[in-house]
Amino acid sequence: MSAKILGLSAYYHDSAACLIADGRVVAAAQEERFTRKKHDFNFPTQAVRYCLSAGGVKAASELDYVVFYDKPFVKFERLLQSYLHDAPKGLPSFIKAMPLWLKSKLWMNENIGDELDYDGPILYTEHHESHAASAFFPSPFERAAILTIDGVGEWATASLGVGEGNKIRLLKELHFPHSLGLLYSAFTYFTGFRVNSGEYKLMGLAPYGEPKYVDRILNEIVDLKDDGSLKLNMRYFNYVSGLRMTTAAFDRLFDGPARPAEAKLTDREMDIAASIQVVTEMAMMNMARFAHRETGLDNLCLAGGVALNCVGNGKILREGPFKNMWIQPAAGDAGGALGAALFVHHQLKNAPRVADEKRDTQRGTLLGPSFTDDEIGAFISAKGITAKRFPDTESLTTHVADVMQRDAVVGWFQGRMEFGPRALGARSIIGDARSRSMQTTMNVKIKFRESFRPFAPSVLRERVGEWFEMDADSPYMLLVAPVNPAHRYDVPQNGARGLDKLKQIRSSVPAITHVDYSARVQTVDRADNPVYHRLLEKFFEATGCPVIVNTSFNVRGEPIVCTPEDAYRCFCRTNMDYLVLGSWVIDKREQNLPPLDESWMKEFELD
């Protein structure tokens, strides 16, 4: 009988749990979705409870193994050495870090045992082993090169490996403090966004600027090597032992201090964003080329936080040496829980692995909780909500496709919740990509977030090549591709700068076309997400357009919704027009709701 293995990630950011049983991934979820605290780093108590329940495990004592996604003592050694090296300068940072270490991280065995009421085997994988396992084992490849790139694990900040069959081997590592992830996070901090949360904002801001600081970055800050490694000039960084990411020298190099959070964005921040994105893509491409030279393989698997840089991923796919790529959808630390469990299952227990070249084994990463129509109906009845239940998928998707054509914004809640940071048609807010006002409406009236943030398209997999310059699976929204020239509009060269570019209509699907004609594409496959696929088919049949807007079902600073109650609360607090909960549709006009009150936004920290 196959072992029951619980994988855990905790105490840094994005705590998560994953259960493997009967040789497959049964369930995986981030703790934030249950606690409603974005990037919750605490022990994933509720995520564990869900995973065990989904696997029919009544108590943790039934588990064969619990595995943690990194090695806390090795990480503590790195922190201690770093602080001692910079003593006494690092004392404030050391004092701030110690309570969590002394309370939880250094007593991991006892802590896990107490939290789970479990006295069985507890194993530990290395951080980048977890990432590598999460990248390769669910992939559709029998053999592949593996790249993991993030901020830092124990000592490693990037690794190169090879996966074959049911085994992975790590061949080379880049070590702290030299880190592409921390370099990008330093620029995230400097441009006024939150580290470990706002990196995607920096990526989205980049096309508004000009990469005029590239030479300055390459000459002063980072030395990119042909072997994919890099070396940082540490006089510009303070993250080794300080409480800030950057130093005064960094301020001088970039013409002034860091932008305060929420301050007005200027051309400087946009140009800095454009510049560090170019440098990051150069580094990612160097790593990919070196991985290909070293392994000679046609397939590449990616994980680690930097693998969420979908612009860089798209560049590797288009211009890099590999024929095929697969990227772990939960590429950050949450995915470490999945990788750790898979590492024990395949690598240590020698469980066989069968790769299918046509599809991965992560099943659309729909691994979270689901709710039956009867459960949703009971919630609707208890709340006194006016709603209509549709008898089948055909009538439901026909109705939703119809209201979307009238510029309605729809909350879409179906099936199992996604594992990872992207909404993929299970917990999404959707709309008509052809609408010229949809991006502004969603950003300002629904998400309550910065106007420059782009929205992603969901497109029928069988139609993706007609609308975007790509013909590859992108089910997890981790590849950026240009909009097909056949659907672009010429933009007058009137010298528009910065956020003024937002006013220019660039394509027949303006709501998902970024200012550089790019889009972060999600391909929708019938096998993984049949109801969402049918909705896109219905919209295509009615409009001739197989593309809709898809953004995560949440407001700024809030985790993606998990339950029908979360979804309804978000619906009531925003200018959303309709809410679809399974087979039930709720029309805002039919509800007896008080006037919109935005005071609730104080509940959520800005991300």
Delimit the domains of the chain by residue range.
5-138+331-363, 180-326, 373-603
Q: Residue 490 — pLDDT band, cuts 50, 70, 90?
A: confident
In percent, the amount of the chain with pLDDT more than 90 equals 81
Write out pLDDT tens, residues 410-428.
999 999 999 999 999 999 9
pLDDT tops 60 at residue 217: yes
Least reliable range by pLDDT among 25-29, 193-197, 288-292: 193-197
Crossing angle of helices 127-136/334-342, nearest 10°? 80
Write out pLDDT tens, residues 345-371.
999 999 999 998 889 999 999 999 999
pLDDT tops 70 at residue 324: yes
103 vs 13, higher pLDDT: 13
> Is 346 marked active-site?
no
Predicted local distance difference test score (pLDDT) of residue 597: 76
Write out pLDDT tens, residues 141-185.
999 999 999 999 999 999 999 999 999 999 999 999 999 999 999
pLDDT tops 80 at residue 119: yes
Burial status of residue 219 (CB atoms within 10 A of its CB: 0-12, 13-18, 19 or more): exposed
Question: 3-state DSSP call for residue 222?
Answer: strand
Question: Looking at this protein, which amino acid is placed at residue 329?
Answer: P
Q: Residue 494 — pLDDT band, cuts 50, 70, 90?
A: low
Question: 3-state DSSP call for residue 73?
Answer: helix
pLDDT tops 90 at residue 447: no
Length of the chain, in residues: 607
Predicted local distance difference test score (pLDDT) of residue 429: 97
Q: Which CATH fold topology does 373-603 show?
A: DHBP synthase (3.90.870)
Pick the CATH number of 180-326 from 3.30.930.10, 1.10.3260.10, 3.40.47.10, 3.30.420.40: 3.30.420.40
Mean pLDDT of the chain: 93
Say which CATH superfamily domain 5-138+331-363 falls into: ATPase, nucleotide binding domain (3.30.420.40)
327: how many CB neighbours lie within 10 A of its CB?
23
Cα four-point dihedral sign 312, 317, 320, 323: positive
Q: Residue 495 — pLDDT band, cuts 50, 70, 90?
A: low
The answer to whether the 5-138+331-363 and 373-603 domains have the same CATH topology is no
Burial status of residue 370 (CB atoms within 10 A of its CB: 0-12, 13-18, 19 or more): middle
2 vs 51, higher pLDDT: 51
278 vs 79, higher pLDDT: 278
Residue 186 · residue 246 · CB < 8 Å: yes
390: how many CB neighbours lie within 10 A of its CB?
18
Tell me the mean pLDDT in the region 325-332. Answer: 98
Q: Cα dist. 193→20, 120, 203, 259, 571 in Å?
A: 36, 42, 11, 9, 27
Helix or strand holding residue 581 (H, E)? strand 578-581
Burial status of residue 284 (CB atoms within 10 A of its CB: 0-12, 13-18, 19 or more): buried
Burial status of residue 451 (CB atoms within 10 A of its CB: 0-12, 13-18, 19 or more): exposed
pLDDT tops 70 at residue 607: no
pLDDT tops 60 at residue 1: no
Q: Residue 451 — pLDDT band, cuts 50, 70, 90?
A: confident
Dist. CA 540–CA 472, nearest whole Å: 20
pTM of the complete model: 0.95
Residue 370 · residue 415 · CB < 8 Å: yes
Predicted local distance difference test score (pLDDT) of residue 391: 97
The residues with which 224 forms a beta bridge, in sequence order, are 230
Write out pLDDT tens, residues 58-97.
999 999 999 999 998 888 888 778 777 766 676 677 777 7
Tell me the mean pLDDT in the region 565-582. Answer: 96
The catalytic position among 13, 39, 345, 346 is: 13
Q: Residue 606 — pLDDT band, cuts 50, 70, 90?
A: low
Q: How are the residues of the chain apportioned to helix, strand and coil, as percentages rounded to the nearest 5?
A: 40, 20, 40
Predicted local distance difference test score (pLDDT) of residue 456: 96
**Furthest CA-CA distance within the chain:** 69
DSSP 442-486: IIIIIS---TT---EEEEEGGGHHHHBS--S--TTS-EEEEBPGG
In percent, the amount of the chain with pLDDT more than 70 equals 97
